Amino acid sequence: MESKVTRQRTLSMYGKVLLLYNGNAGQKEVEDVLEVITGILVSHTDEFILKRTEYKGHAEEICRDRGEEMDLVCILGGDGTVHECVNGLADLETPPLTAILPGGTCNDFSRSLGIPQNIKKAAEVIIEGSTAKVDLLKANRRWVSNFVGMGLITTASENIDAQLKGTFGRLSYYLSAFKTIREAKPFRYSLKLPDKSITDQAVMILAANGNYIGTSQLPALHDKLDDGKMNFFVLREAGLSLLRNFLQSKDLNEWDRENPAFDFAEAEEVEISTEEPMKLDMDGEVYEQTPVKITIHRERMTFIKGEIN
């Protein structure tokens, strides 16, 4: 479904604007949210187009097909919807300015951009017009805005009950993680960084571009999204008890970087292989599998930003 409103340019700060929203969300809730957003944005655009996604991958197709004709693409949805849209936009020769309107459970990448989690305030940030050029990861064939993970984090994503997620929101992630920890099994991996190679065992490996996972702030080695570096974490089996503590405190900054149960590093590129192919969690959705080559692409897209701490 698509609809549009056209206004005179003399009133506008944006020309052609596309707002994508998740067609699987509750109809009444979406209508209420869209009313708030359009009430704020429409008077600041020449042409405002609403487009509802109808199936998985649809947002990616729309962004790839129509992204270059837009001055601004607004994404109303969670991290999975953002992931789809980024994969439709990042390969374009000139990706449009992009804004995230948080409509999911965790909205982690929007938090890294300093976007308010209140939808009205998030829409107002778009009108303020502050922008940031942002790095993206590429993991094999897919673009990634927030993180790529394997092991425990992937199992936790697959363990989430969809109905529970809709009812309890981010609490469902913590409940899933608790269940996953009890079942966690170490896996053997080989890791190749530009300056060294490592072969060892882990229960989780995480390459992060953003600063939040499950609404909790990561123990940042850097806090910028445009420095050409990813944060890289390896969790060994000995760190599971510490991870339980984290889930109870919900503060990743309490992780001790000097603890031998963890490895932390910054990197521009990493290659990971495992004895058996392992599924990869990308921005909260499971795509592809090992082996994987992850590279950072500096300032690949421009996003609307809020106040970044």
Q: Which amino acid is at 159?
A: N
Tokens of 119: 């939808």
Put residue 151 in one of left, alpha, beta given phi > 0 → left and psi -120 to 50 → alpha. Answer: left
Contacting residues for 40 by C-beta, under 8 A, at least 6 apart: 120, 123, 124, 126, 127
Do residues 153 and 204 lie in contact, with contact meaning Cβ atoms separated by under 8 Å?
A: yes
CA distance 197 to 261: 18
CA distance 154 to 185: 12
CA distance to 3, 99, 129, 251, per residue, from 47 (Å): 10, 16, 17, 43
CA distance 68 to 97: 10
Tokens of 89: 């936009």
- Residues taking part in catalysis: 285
CA distance 213 to 221: 15
Put residue 74 in one of left, alpha, beta given phi > 0 → left and psi -120 to 50 → alpha. Answer: beta
SS3 179: helix
